[in-house]
A = this chain, B = another copy of it.
């Protein structure tokens, strides 16, 4: 249709990083899927760690999580380049949990730039308890706490409602017996809204809940935890003793997997992100990739842009 008859974009999303913690390939890993990336096999694309950028007005951006690769991600994304003087278009960072792959990028946002760090009291407390984050000058960087189910107006046309999802505390906060799958301040989903467009972002989730199904139903876009294809894939590869569940993630397949859980949910587009280096959906044309695509899911990649 002619340009002036196209519906205006209400919400624009850029996938800055689509991999789970460690990225793809992972620095010390030659598992079969990583091996393809080290060999520069054309069926796979390297991926940086989990983060989105979203904008409602096209000019001011919010990050959903700040990955350790954030500096590289900004360099690769012209929309996030500074305009003049000291002036980044980034106005805030939402944190869905306190994992390294979601918070370490804050260390790359120093230097006299005003923005908000937005997360649960538990996640903000974790940032404040680690003195290294004092490089973020409180004269510029504002900490904004989130409450379960309470919408905030982030400004610049963007509204966000956080909701607790089943998860676990970050790895670096684990001690003794670790509780998995509890619903609390440790792990968030985010509902992002602008002018009627609605994104649901849940990069980490240990199991399905009624709240998640309710929020996702009718959304224009769902970006969901695609960490592993099978619950035990890291164990079978001999890379770890941990299942996906132990890491606080639900696998894509299986009785308790996300494919089955979302099978009947009406969503505009369903996209897997936060994809672990061991997950064979990273390989174009693989049987596992076909399984998710046949079920109506897309697989996120770095630089993927979605306009709602």
Contacts and interface: CB of A to CB of B under 8 A. Distances in A.
B75 A46 contact: yes
Chain A: interface size category: 35 or more
B26 A135 contact: no
Interface string A126-139: 10011111110000
A154 to B, nearest CB: 19
A36 interface: no
Chain B CB within 10 A, most for which of A49, A82, A103, A238: A82
Contacts of A82: 27-30, 34, 38
Given A130-B131, A133-B172, 13 more contacts: A22-B111, A27-B108, A28-B82, A28-B87, A30-B82, A30-B85, A68-B107, A85-B238, A100-B110, A103-B132, A112-B240, A126-B132, A132-B132
Interface of A: 21-23, 25-30, 34, 38, 46, 48-49, 68-72, 74-75, 81-88, 90, 100, 103-104, 107-113, 126, 129-135, 171-173, 238-240
5 contacts: A30-B83, A68-B107, A100-B135, A130-B131, A133-B172
